[in-house]
Amino acid sequence: MMLPLTKKDCDDKPYKSKSRVLEKLAGWVRLIISDRDSRNLFCFLILNLCFAFVELFYGIWTNSLGLISDSFHMFFDCTGLVAGLIASVIAKWRATDHFTYGFVRAEVLAGFLNGLFLLFIAFFILSEAVERLLEPPEVKHERLFLVSVLGLLVNLVGIYVFQHGGAHGHSHGGGGHGHSHGGGHSHDSHKHDDHNPSFLSHGHSHDHDAGHGHSHNGASHFHSHGGESGGTGANKQIMRGVFLHILADTLGSVGVIISAGLMWAFEWYIADPICSICIALLICLSVLDLIKESAFILMQRVPYSIDNQLPQCYQRLMQLEGVLSVQEPHFWTLCSDVYVGTVKLEVSRNADPRYITQNAQLIFQGIGVKKMTIQLDFLLT
């Protein structure tokens, strides 16, 4: 039996669309699993999703609005994790001719969007808390105590994992961490009895590893800590954003627990909204740093790490033979640790272009800018 000599593989049977989609998905999953950070993210996402689904079904089964709304809140938080995952997948795509620098910026964008998201959440917690201050509703908290403790444990796992590996897991933080979803954010639901115990209390008493981040000054320490230990350079922004998300959730759970305790022990119903306000402020403060940094990267600011080395570079450039002036230097960050620069040098007529170009490139490589474009303008006189 003769073996076929040719194999027609591209004419009549195109891929069925279904298998192509599945293949794409499989490819993405492989990509996620290959990198340690995104693998952690993925696992944590699955964990949270399981938790959220369990909570949802339990809530529907027992017909408890508080549980249902809290599970929705968890799903809502999942989106931050999903955004981080998507960004880490996108950042690995190769450059196309529509995106000549590739897709590495996705990382910075993910950090920025996560930060914005958290800021919005903080605002809504604040508005909710103010509402509760004006009309203190009655709270019932027995059933949710267990759930919030469980959620806290999940969050702690997340913090532990992502502090070292960086990745941002959204921890749903269990029942009723003071986010607005936790029941009663609209007027009509004030009628429902099954409110979540409100919100967050001072997280200062919380003793997880990143505990020093709770105060305002500590926030900056905290970020640099999380940032340094977080992942590889390429994933830094994503991991920071995700980590902040988990932190916000943890603060929420802690707040719920403590305020529930306070209310049970001392009947201080006013503790509720006050705690929420504090937590909202804390979240705001902790997120501002990330937003500022991402915004500057997106605005193409000169990278911080080479900021004070640049004047020296210009001096050294001027010392090259033939260089008369340095015009229009532009340096910006593409993603973490990848810097791009362009500069225009005015050179005299008989200068050696290759010498100048090579040395200029060396000078800039010395400070870490690997992608340089150097334009030499010869003076005609």
Partner 1 sequence: MKRFWNHFIQLSRVLKSEDRDNYFYSSNLMDCLNFISLFDEQCAISTSYMRLADSASVKRYGEEESATLPVDQSNGELLSNSCPCVTSANTTTDESMHACSNCGRRFAGNSKGITIKIEASNVQVVRPTNVVTAKEKVDDAFKLKMFSDSGEHCHDDEHRHVTDNGARRKLWIASLLCVVFMIGEAVGGLLAGSLAVATDAAHLLTDFAGFMISLFALYISERPATKTLSYGYHRAEVIGALTSVLLIWVVTGILVYLAVQRVVMQEFEINAPIMLITSGIGLINGMYFASTWSQPWRRCQSWTQPQGHGHSHNAKPKTTAAHANGGFVRSVEDPENTDHTDPKETSCESDSSSNAQVAVAKPNINVRAAFIHVVGDFLQSVGVFAAALTIYFEPTWVIIDPICTFLFSILVIGTTFAIIKDTLVVLMEGIPKGIDFNEVRETLLQVKGVYIVHNLRIWSLSMDKIAMSAHLAVEPGSSSANSILRKSSQLVKSKYGFCEVTIQIEDFNQSMQDCRKCQELNY
Task: By CB under 8 A, name the one of 9, 191, 207, 267 that touches partner 1.
Answer: 191
**Beta strands, E only, the chain:** 323-335, 338-347, 369-378
> How far, in Å, are 21, 188, 204, 337, 376 from residue 360 at the CA level?
48, 67, 51, 20, 11
Residue 367 touching partner 1 (CB under 8 A)? no
CB of 172 to partner 1, least distance (A): 15
Residue list 59-78, contact with partner 1 (CB under 8 A): 65, 68-69, 72, 76
Nearer to partner 1, 29 or 318 (CB): 318
**Residue 208 burial (CB < 10 Å; 0-12/13-18/19+)?**
middle
Question: What is the per-residue binding string for partner 1 in 117-156, x denoting contact by CB under 8 A?
Answer: x--x---x--------------------------------
Tally Cβ neighbours within 10 Å of residue 157: 15
Interacting span for partner 1 (CB under 8 A) from 8-16, 205-213, 258-266, 320-328? 320-328
CA nearest to 193, candidates 64, 55, 68: 64
Tokens 């200068």 sit on residue = 351
CB of 129 closer than 8 Å to CB of 199: yes
Residue 379 touching partner 1 (CB under 8 A)? yes
Residue 28 touching partner 1 (CB under 8 A)? no
CA nearest to 252, candidates 271, 276, 272: 276
Residue list 233-272, contact with partner 1 (CB under 8 A): none
Nearer to partner 1, 28 or 76 (CB): 76
Nearer to partner 1, 101 or 268 (CB): 101
> How far, in Å, are 9, 16, 86, 364 from residue 19 at the CA level?
16, 6, 21, 48
Residue 220 touching partner 1 (CB under 8 A)? no
For helices 142-165 and 65-90, the axis angle rounded to 10 degrees is 10
According to DSSP, residue 266 is labeled H
Task: By CB under 8 A, name the one of 53, 57, 99, 268 that touches partner 1.
Answer: 99
Residue 180 touching partner 1 (CB under 8 A)? yes
CB of 271 closer than 8 Å to CB of 127: no
CB of 79 to partner 1, least distance (A): 9
Residue 217 touching partner 1 (CB under 8 A)? no
Task: For 70-88, give the secondary structure using H, E and C.
Answer: HHHHHHHHHHHHHHHHHHH
Nearer to partner 1, 365 or 375 (CB): 375
Burial per residue of 338-368, b for 16 or more beta-carbon CB atoms within 10 angstroms, e otherwise: bbbbebebbbeeebeeeebbebbeebbeebe
CB of 177 to partner 1, least distance (A): 16
Nearer to partner 1, 58 or 124 (CB): 124
Residue ranges binding partner 1 (CB under 8 A): 65, 68-69, 72, 76, 94-101, 103, 105-106, 109, 113, 116-117, 120, 124, 180-181, 185-189, 191-192, 295, 298-302, 307, 310-311, 314-315, 318, 324-332, 334, 342-344, 346, 353-354, 357, 371, 373-381
